[in-house]
Amino acid sequence: MKIGEIAKQTGLKIETVRFYETEGLIAPPERSGGNYRLYNSTHLNRLSFIKRARDLGFTLDQVRDLLRLADDPRGSCDEVDAIAELHIQEIDRKLADLTVLRSELVRWGSQCDASTIAECKLIDALTSVRASAST
């Protein structure tokens, strides 16, 4: 199949398929007589794997490691577990950060009973944060 077809089947953009090829995450496809890239089911499976891993938030380096491990089905999954555990820790950190951010926004919003922007607590808090971040 041509690049547009595999992009559509995987839900990736054409540029992303090319990028993954350039990064060595997929093998270079064969070329047609007209120099079109011709992808096969192996490319489709690998690109689907990459897309799913990226959708789950794995970094490109983690995806590279997971692909390397997946290429050796008889290997131990200890390394896969370690990659997953590090990713879970990162997700937990992000969730904690988001919880703090949400609490701040709720607090600012609940303090605001202003009728004009000049009296708005949220705008005031954002302005104060900006001022303190620039020093």
Q: What is the pLDDT along the chain (135 residues), one digit of tens a residue?
A: 999 999 999 999 999 999 999 999 999 999 999 999 999 999 999 999 999 999 999 999 999 999 999 999 898 899 999 999 999 999 999 999 999 999 988 887 777 776 788 777 778 777 875 545 554
Q: What pLDDT score does 110 carry? A: 77
18 assigned to some structural domain = yes
Does one domain contain both 53 and 12?
A: yes
DSSP state of 59: -
Question: By three-state DSSP, how is residue 135 classified?
Answer: coil
Does one domain contain both 15 and 51?
A: yes
| pLDDT (tens digit per residue) in 78-111 | 999 999 999 999 999 999 999 999 998 888 777 7
Q: What pLDDT score does 51 carry? A: 98
Left, alpha or beta for 99 (phi > 0: left; psi -120 to 50: alpha)? alpha
Q: What predicted TM-score, i.e. pTM, was given to this entire model?
A: 0.77
The CA distances from residue 125 to 97, 98, 128, in Å, are 18, 18, 5
For residue 19, what is the domain's CATH number?
Answer: 1.10.1660.10
93 assigned to some structural domain = yes
69 assigned to some structural domain = no
Neighbours of 46 (CB within 10 A): 19
Residue with tokens 């990659």: 83
Cβ atoms 97, 105 nearer than 8 A: no
92 assigned to some structural domain = yes
99 assigned to some structural domain = yes
72 assigned to some structural domain = no
Neighbours of 45 (CB within 10 A): 13
Domain with 90, as residue range(s), is: 80-133
Q: What pLDDT score does 81 carry? A: 96
Looking at the 3D structure of the chain, how many domains does it have? 2
Cβ atoms 47, 20 nearer than 8 A: yes
Does one domain contain both 50 and 84?
A: no
Show the beta-strand stretches assigned E in the chain: 30-31, 37-38
Closest alpha carbon to 6 in 37, 32, 52: 37
